[in-house]
Amino acid sequence: MVPRDAEYEDARKLFNGMISKKPAVIARCKDVADVMEALRFSHAQGLAVAVRGGGHNGGGLGSVDDGLVVDLSLMRGVRVDPKSRTAQVAGGCQWGDVDHATHAFGLATPAGIISTTGVGGLTLGGGIGHLTRKLGLTIDNLLAADVVLADGSFVTVSADQNPDLFWAVRGGGGNFGVVTSFTFRLHPIDTVIAGPTLWPIDQADEVLRFYREFIGKAPEELNGFFAFLAVPPGPPFPEELHRKKMCGIVWCYTGKASESEKLLAPVRKVGKLALYGLQPMPYPVLQSAFDGLYPPGLQQYWRADFFRELNDGAVKEHARHGSRLPTPLSTMHLYPVDGAASRIGPKETPWAYRDALWAEVVFAVDPDPAKAKVLRDWTVEYWEALHPYSMGGAYVNFMMEEGQERVRATYLENYQRLAATKHKFDPENFFHVNQNILPAA
Ligand SMILES: Cc1cc2nc3c(=O)[nH]c(=O)nc-3n(C[C@H](O)[C@H](O)[C@H](O)COP(=O)(O)OP(=O)(O)OC[C@H]3O[C@@H](n4cnc5c(N)ncnc54)[C@H](O)[C@@H]3O)c2cc1C
């Protein structure tokens, strides 16, 4: 597809409406052979290449000006093997495709919290979601992948096949090739008890102090991320809360239903609880619960960091900046990354922050392009206030294009091994439209 084609304008759009890129060619691939051909063509034409999975990336890394986009959005098949509890997922799937296919068997694999996010980008960067404490990151459940390399050759990576590349794709992003298929381990996850608890925003200080003590000691079946938010003006939220700025925790409990009430009893005692919204629901319902709030095309500005503690100074800054949400869709989330995710060593995958307790993301959002500066200013001010309390680096999938220093801060000592692997498989840095790892000299 090229700019003169009728479908081009729609096809080039990214999820983040703040970013507009105009590729010279969009190659809508249907299979591995198409991906190989697209890469060959871009080599021959000297075109820069971007790979588009779900197109969700905050920095717009699924596209490239004047280059070629390997668009995987037609590659959406999922095959579940209930016997071995695995799923083979095509490289252009969204998480909703996976949840739909696996839920039929009462199975799931850890993903993110929005079902329209691409499996490709989310997995290759790490993958945080409602099941992180219990089952680890998405990469911790990746068993194998099919990859088309920069030279157009095809390899399968797993613990036994090309283990160096298997190590690198579990967090190193799209730096090493185009992943045309992922194989995930599945787990018996069917109905979960999930939903938000909400408090007035002036109680953020108290709620955060409770949260920081409670979540790390809770059983790993209980996941809960903290959020600042404006309550959406519609069901299931009671009318008196509509549009109110609040703080909350979004819970997902995968343990015995009969134990959830007892486990969450301390939550009811915190401050003046305005809503206790937990209820049993099929896992895919939780996974798609926020989709409607974040449709494609909104203006988005992102900043992030990892945290090992939430001391009183950090709590104070969160309460200060969180209470100034610039628009109704803007938010800040603190995702727990302890539990199962912390039992993998910091060198076992490129994900260097296995000792972090939270991944923070400050995410300013609005439909109106005129608000771009307001979104940016709030996000950067919030992030700058908290950064001194952080561990120094951020989850690569919550970053925009922030430069090489931030990429290195993400990977810490693992950067050198990633750079060596990049040198081996992509010495020319053909795949550079990503959080780029420079090939070792
Ligand atoms: C509303 C929203 C909610 C989110 N929630 C979560 C969450 O809960 N948890 C979480 O972990 N993250 C979350 N994210 C962040 C998300 O993980 C990143 O935006 C991720 O980059 C999205 O992947 P994608 O395939 O949709 O993106 P794309 O823009 O298509 O791609 C992003 C990057 O990945 C590369 N890539 C994508 N697919 C492939 C492939 N098959 N082979 C090789 N390279 C590929 C691209 O080249 C690009 O560099 C969220 C993002 C949004 C916008």
Model pLDDT for residues 10-46, shown as the tens digit of each residue: 999 999 999 999 999 999 999 999 999 999 999 999 9
For residue 58 and ligand 1, the question of a CB distance below 6 A is answered with yes
pLDDT tens for each residue of 250-307: 999 999 999 999 999 999 999 999 999 999 999 999 999 999 999 999 999 999 999 9
Query: Which tokens is 345 given?
Result: 């060593």
pLDDT tens for each residue of 365-380: 999 999 999 999 999 9
Distance 124 CA to ligand 1 centre (A): 8
Distance 121 CA to ligand 1 centre (A): 3
- CB neighbour class for 276 (10 Å; exposed up to 12, middle 13-18, buried from 19): middle
**Nearest atom (ligand 1) to Cα of 435:** 49
For residue 15 and ligand 1, the question of a CB distance below 6 A is answered with yes
Interval 72-100 mean pLDDT: 98
Interval 66-93 mean pLDDT: 98
Among residues of the chain, what percentage have pLDDT more than 70? 100
The residue to mutate among 16, 397, 429, having the most atoms of ligand 1 within 8 angstroms of its beta carbon, is: 397
Distance 260 CA to ligand 1 centre (A): 32
The residue to mutate among 16, 117, 133, 223, having the most atoms of ligand 1 within 8 angstroms of its beta carbon, is: 117
Query: Which tokens is 179 given?
Result: 């992943």
Whether 398 contacts 32, CB under 8 Å: no
For residue 178 and ligand 1, the question of a CB distance below 6 A is answered with yes
Helix H segments across 200-252? Answer: 204-217
For 219-233, the three-class secondary structure string (H helix, E strand, C coil) is: CCCEEEEEEEEECCC
Q: According to the model, what pLDDT value does residue 123 have? A: 98
For residue 17 and ligand 1, the question of a CB distance below 6 A is answered with no
Please name every residue paired with 301 in a beta bridge, in sequence order, or none if there are none. Answer: 364
For residue 55 and ligand 1, the question of a CB distance below 6 A is answered with yes
Q: According to the model, what pLDDT value does residue 214 have? A: 98
Distance 199 CA to ligand 1 centre (A): 31
SS3 168: helix
Residue 305's nearest CA partner among 412, 384, 405, 417 is 384
For residue 28 and ligand 1, the question of a CB distance below 6 A is answered with no
**Nearest atom (ligand 1) to Cα of 294:** 1
Strands (E), 82-190: 86-90, 107-108, 142-148, 154-158, 178-185, 187-188
pLDDT at 441 > cutoff 90: no
pLDDT tens for each residue of 126-172: 999 999 999 999 999 999 999 999 999 999 999 999 999 999 999 99
Please name every residue paired with 302 in a beta bridge, in sequence order, or none if there are none. Answer: 363
For residue 114 and ligand 1, the question of a CB distance below 6 A is answered with yes
Q: According to the model, what pLDDT value does residue 236 have? A: 86
Contacts of 173 (CB under 8 A, 6+ apart): 121, 124, 125, 396, 434, 435, 437
pLDDT at 63 > cutoff 90: yes
pLDDT at 235 > cutoff 90: no
For residue 175 and ligand 1, the question of a CB distance below 6 A is answered with no
Distance 42 CA to ligand 1 centre (A): 23
Whether 64 contacts 54, CB under 8 Å: no
Whether 58 contacts 51, CB under 8 Å: no
Whether 91 contacts 36, CB under 8 Å: no
How many beta carbons lie within 10 A of that of residue 242, not counting itself?
A: 13
Among residues of the chain, what percentage have pLDDT more than 90? 99
Consecutive H or E run containing 384? helix 372-386
How many beta carbons lie within 10 A of that of residue 134, not counting itself?
A: 21
pLDDT band with cut points at 50, 70 and 90 for residue 399: very high
Rounded to the nearest integer, the mean pLDDT of the chain is 97
Q: Say what the pTM is.
A: 0.97
- Residue ID of nearest Cα to ligand 1 atom 8: 112
Consecutive H or E run containing 50? strand 49-52
Query: Which tokens is 196 given?
Result: 């938000």
Cα 398 from Cα 353, distance rounded (Å): 14
Distance 116 CA to ligand 1 centre (A): 10
Q: According to the model, what pLDDT value does residue 185 have? A: 98
**Count of positions (residues) in the chain:** 441
The dihedrals phi and psi of 2, each to the nearest 5 degrees, come to -125, 165
Residue 90's nearest CA partner among 62, 54, 58 is 54
Amino acid at 292: G
